Amino acid sequence: MKRDRRIFSIGLLFVLNIVFSQSLMNGYGFGGLSSSQSASVLGLGNQSLVSSFQSGVSLQNPATWMDLKFTKLNISYLNDQSVLESFDALNGQTLIGRGQLIIPIKEKYSFGLGLAPYRNQSISIIGAEESYIAFDDTLSTQKSLYSYGGINALFVGFGIAPKNEHRFGTKIHLLFGSTRQSLMNNVGGIATISNARFVYSGVLVDAYYNTNFEYPVNIFASVQFAYKPLSYISKLYHPFDDTNQSGYHDSEFYFMDFPYQSDISLAIENREENIHNPFQFELGFEWKMKDHISLSGELLSWEDKGDYSNLDFIMPLNDYVKSRQEYGFSLIRFTPALLAPKFWDKFQLRAGVHSSNYQLANELESIKEMSISFGFGFKFNVTGNQIDFAFRSGKRTYRDVLGVEYFQHAMVELSLSDLWFIKRRGNK
């Protein structure tokens, strides 16, 4: 037990000491990133349908949850890093990934509840400084845009196995969150700032199906659609001169920023509907090979049918991902049994390759992405507690003016197991 804790501590320390940051893709609307919130899935190269956590189970596919023997409580932590080669810029983010509770019921049903990030944004765009002469004086000007915040998904999932050969599942995502934006125009050292706030809401629905035949190959499929497309309420605040360079519109008590808050109108409120309306289809297969080894693959087609015509001011890069296609193949070695006699048998090994093609709305050239990934899981305790690590590295090729971006994802996930909410054997 002490050795298990030591392994966990060393692994967590390794992840927390890596400096990571956020990708340029965060500026391309809601379809710009497709990173997983589960380490076991990321280790396969972002394949969410096929078995990845243990044989027959994916933490992101409720149609597989009924194969769990114990209730699972898991949480993940994600670090991202990206380097844009042409600008020699390091950008990124660190965040908590997915937290969820999964309850299998009599090997025929399952229930899950969790919280995960849907889209995070932390963007700083600083324009080039320009100078011009006015009234025999040289003035410098510079424009900057800062946007930060995000959208989270509170989800509930259900699974059912009416027959052993067929499994069905569904997941409902309640989207909520907010972002803030500041547009700054600096003239001669005095910045004029325009602030805005956006509060989001929406509902997405996933439907899952997979076979569970005794044959070597099983098929997985899922569809996602918007039951209530994403909408937002915006608050646009009156611009002000930030004379004390605090970044905030200080109250007139300080007699610094202009105009005083008492001299301006309240924020202008507006509501926009159908700003994000995704439709996604995903298909996967899993070939069970000998010695607990499986070869799997997935393909994904994603399209945003939302209305972006009035969203120029919340799209920092003046473009967005209209559609996305992904392909991936992976190889995994599962643990032979819950109580493995050998120390080596407590490990699960994962590796995968992944390719994505992002089509922008206003560009003929697409953004291409290639990556490789690997990971491992370690089981401890008689109930099958598990800690998973995953690492993914790749590159994205943009249009010529932006060049190539290299990225890395590292994730750690802890899963605790017990008989919570499950009737113990021997009890009536």
Write the single-letter amino acid at 410.
A
Give 294's strand partners: 288, 332
Q: How many helices (H) and strands (E) does the chain have?
A: 2, 18
Average pLDDT of span 27-33: 73
Task: Say which DSSP state 63 is in.
Answer: G
Assess whether pLDDT exceeds 50 at residue 13: no
Per the domain annotation, does 287 fall within a domain? Answer: yes
Res 342: pLDDT: 76
Task: Report how far apart, in Å, the C-alpha atoms of 394 and of each of 6, 92, 143, 155, 369 are.
Answer: 31, 15, 32, 30, 7
CATH code assigned at 263 = 2.40.160.40
Res 309: pLDDT: 75
Residue 277 is encoded by which pair of tokens?
A: 């309306």
Position with higher pLDDT, 211 vs 85: 211
Range picked from 11-15, 140-144, 172-176, 377-381 for highest mean pLDDT: 172-176
> How far apart, in whole angstroms, are the C-alpha atoms of residue 339 and residue 337?
5
Per the domain annotation, does 104 fall within a domain? Answer: yes
| Number of domains, the chain | 1
Residue reference for tokens 């409902």: 172
Comparing C-alpha atoms, which of 78, 79, 77, 37 is closest to residue 58? 37
DSSP state letters, 129-155: PEEEEETTEEEEEEEEEEEEEEEEEEE
Position with higher pLDDT, 364 vs 206: 206
Residue 421 has phi, psi (to 5 degrees) of 65, 5
Write the single-letter amino acid at 392.
R
What band does 11 get if pLDDT is binned at 50, 70 and 90?
Answer: very low
Per the domain annotation, does 423 fall within a domain? Answer: no
Domain boundaries, position 57: 2-418
Average pLDDT, the chain: 82
Assess whether pLDDT exceeds 50 at residue 4: no
* SS3 call for 283: strand
Per the domain annotation, does 425 fall within a domain? Answer: no
Per the domain annotation, does 247 fall within a domain? Answer: yes
> How far apart, in whole angstroms, are the C-alpha atoms of residue 32 and residue 119?
9
> How far apart, in whole angstroms, are the C-alpha atoms of residue 127 and residue 271?
30
